[in-house]
Structure 1
Amino acid sequence: MANRLLGRCAHLLCRVSSQASAFAAVRLPPPVAGPAAVSRAQRWLWVTDGLMCERTVPKDSQRFPDIPAPTELNQMVEKAKTPEDILSAWEKYGSNANDAAGTLSKWSQLVIKAQGKFTKPEPELLSDSRVQSMMNILSQEVTTVWNSNLVTVLRTLWVMNVPHTNPVLGSVQTEVLWRIRKLSCRHLALLVDWGAGRKDPQDVALVSAALKQLELRWTEIADSKTVCVLISKGEHMSPALMDKLEDKALEVAESFTAEDIRKVCVSLAAQNRRSIPLLRALSYHILQKPSADFTTRLIMDVAFAYGKLNFNQSQVFQRLSGELLPKVPQLRATDVTRYAKSLGFLKWLHFPLFEAFVEHYTANSEKYNIFQLCNLLMTFARLGFQPSKGDEFFSKVHKVLEESLTGLEPFLQTDVAWSMCVLQQAKPHYLTPLCQQSHFAKLSGGKPVRVNGYNLKLLHIAATLLLEHSVSTPSLLPVPAASSSLSELQSSLREALLNLVGGRLEVLRTGVGTTYGWTIDGEMAVDCDNKPIDILALKAPHLPSGGGDQNLPEGARRLAFFGMEFPNYGSKSRNLLGRFTMMKRHLQLAGFITVEVPYYEWLELKTDWQKLAYLKDKMGKAVAEDMAK
Structure 2
Amino acid sequence: MASRLVRRCTCLLREAARLAPAMSPVGQPRLTRGAPRTLTSSATSPSSHLPGSLSELVERGQVFTPYPERQEVDHLIERATQPEEILALLGGGHCLHQNRAALMVIQLSRLLSEKPKDKALLIKDARFQHLLRLVNSQINAVWHGTLVKLLRSLYALGLPATSKELQSVEQEVRWRMRRLRYKHLAFLAESSATYMQEQGSQELLAELLVHLERRWTEIDDGRTVVAMMVKIGHLSQSLMNRLEDKCLELVEQFGPEELRKVLVMLAAQNRRSVPLLRAVSYHLVQKPFTLTKSILLDLAYAYGKLGFHQTQVFQRLAADLLPHTPSLTSSEVARCTKSFAFLKWLSLPLFEAFAQHVLDRAQSIALPHLCNMLLAFARVNFRPEREDQFFSLVQSSAPPAPSPSLPLMLNPPRRSSSGLAGVRGWTSAKEPWAQR
**TM-score of the superposed pair, with normalisation by structure 2:** 0.73
- Give, in whole Å, the separation in 1 of the partners of 2:412 and 2:133: 67
Q: CA deviation at 1:229?
A: 2.0
AA at the equivalent of 1:268: L
Matched residue type, 1:358 = A
| Aligned with residue 182 of structure 1, among 163, 179, 182 | 179
Aligned residues: 376
3-state SS of paired residue (2:112) = helix
Cα 1:257–1:87 shift into 2, 3 Å: farther
Tell me if 1:237 matches 2:259. no
1:79 corresponds to: 79
Q: Give how far 1:213 is off.
A: 1.1
User: Normalized per residue, which structure has more strand?
Assistant: 1
Task: Name 1:109's counterpart in structure 2.
Answer: 110
CA distance in 1, matches of 2:399, 2:335: 24
Residue aligning to 1:268: 266
Rounded to whole Å, the distance in 1 between the matches of 2:111 and 2:346 is 48
Per-residue deviation, 1:297 = 2.7
Output one character per residue of 1:123-146: Cα deviation in whole Å (capped at 9) or x when no partner: 313233443343222222111211
Deviations 1:390-441, CA, capped at 9 Å, x for gaps:
233222211222436959xx9xx9xx889968555459xx78x97xxxx7xx
Contact 2:270 2:306 in 1 (8 A): yes
CA contact (8 A) 1:139 1:171 kept: yes
User: By how many angstroms is 1:180 displaced?
Assistant: 0.9
**Structure 2 residue identity aligned to 1:75:** H
Is the aligned partner of 1:375 residue 2:372?
yes
Q: Deviations over 1:311-367 (max 9, x none)?
A: 222332233333332332332322211111111111222222222222222233454
Please give the alpha-carbon distance, in whole angstroms, between the structure 1 residues aligned to 2:402 and 2:74: 64
Contact kept in structure 2, 1:234 and 1:267, CA below 8 Å? no
Given that 1:121 and 1:163 are in contact with CA atoms closer than 8 Å, whether structure 2 keeps it comes out as no
Cα distance, 1:144–1:257 mapped onto 2, change above 3 Å: farther
Alpha carbons of 1:123 and 1:402: their partners in 2 closer, same or farther (altered >3 Å)?
Answer: closer
Deviates more, 1:311-320 or 1:216-225: 311-320
Match of residue 128 from structure 1 = 125
Within 5 A, what are the aligned runs for 1:458-537?
none
Residues 1:256 and 1:160: Cα distance change in structure 2 (over 3 Å): same
Match 2:297 to one of 291, 297, 300: 300
- Partner Cα distance (1:73, 1:406) in 2: 76
Query: CA separation in 2, counterparts of 1:134 and 1:75?
Result: 18
Taking a change above 3 Å as real, the CA distance of residues 420 and 159 of structure 1, as seen in their structure-2 partners, is farther
Over 3 Å counting, the alpha-carbon distance change for 1:77 and 1:394 in structure 2 is: farther
Structure-1 residue corresponding to 2:351: 354
Matched AA of 2:346: L
Q: In structure 2, what is the equivalent of residue 193 of structure 1?
A: 190
What are the ranges of 5 or more consecutive residues in structure 2 without an aligned counterpart? Answer: 1-22, 32-37, 40-61, 432-436
Alpha-carbon distance in structure 2 between the residues aligned to 1:244 and 1:154: 26
CA distance in 1, matches of 2:279, 2:301: 18
Q: Which moved more, 1:157-166 or 1:389-398?
A: 389-398
Residues 237 and 420 of structure 1: is their aligned pair in 2 closer, same or farther, counting only changes over 3 Å? farther
Q: Given the superposition, is the C-alpha separation of residues 236 and 107 from structure 1 closer, same or farther in structure 2, using an over 3 Å criterion?
A: same
Aligned equivalent of 1:509: none
Larger Rg: 1
1:95 and 2:92 aligned: no
| Shift of residue 277, structure 1, vs aligned partner | 2.2
Contact 2:112 2:118 in 1 (8 A): no
| In structure 2, C-alpha distance between the alignment counterparts of 1:96 and 1:104, rounded to whole Å | 13
- 8 A Cα contact 1:250 1:281, kept in partner: yes
Would the alpha carbon gap of residues 418 and 156 (structure 1) be closer, same or farther in structure 2, given more than 3 Å must change? farther
One-letter identity of the residue aligned with 1:101:
A
SS at match of 1:229: helix
| Equivalent residue in structure 2 for 1:330, among 309, 327, 332 | 327
SS of alignment partner, residue 112 of structure 1: coil
Map 1:354-433 → 2, pairs under 5 A: 354-403=351-400, 422-423=419-420, 425=422
Which letter maps to 1:314? T
The equivalent position to 1:223 in structure 2, one of 205, 221, 224, is: 221
| Residues 259, 298 of structure 1: 8 Å contact kept | yes
Which one of 303, 314, 318 corresponds to residue 317 of structure 1? Answer: 314
Aligned pair in 2 of structure 1 residues 89, 359: CA closer, same or farther (>3 Å)?
farther
DSSP 3-state at the match of 2:111 = helix
Q: Is the 8 A contact 2:395 2:410 kept in 1?
A: no
Structure 1 residue 212 displacement after superposition: 1.1
Question: Deviation at 1:174?
Answer: 0.8
**Residue 252 of structure 2 corresponds to which residue in structure 1?**
254
Deviation at 1:67, TM superposition (A): 5.8
Q: CA separation of 1:85/1:419 partners in 2, compared to 1, >3 Å: closer, same or farther?
A: farther
The 2-side partners of 1:121 and 1:170 are apart by 23
**Aligned-partner residue type, residue 213 of structure 1:** H
Aligned to 2:48: none
1: CA distance between counterparts of 2:312 and 2:279?
A: 13
Residue by residue over 1:566-615, the C-alpha shift from the partner in whole angstroms, topping out at 9 and shown as x without a partner, is: xxxxxxxxxxxxxxxxxxxxxxxxxxxxxxxxxxxxxxxxxxxxxxxxxx
Matches within 5 A, 1:424-443: 425=422
CA 1:326/1:97 → structure 2, altered by over 3 Å: closer, same or farther?
Answer: farther
1:204 maps to which residue? 202
CA contact 1:381–1:419 (8 Å) conserved in 2: no
- Can you give the 5+ residue segments of structure 1 that lack an aligned partner in the other structure? 1-22, 33-38, 41-61, 443-629
Residues 217 and 327 from structure 1, CA distance in 2 versus in 1: closer, same or farther, beyond 3 angstroms?
Answer: same
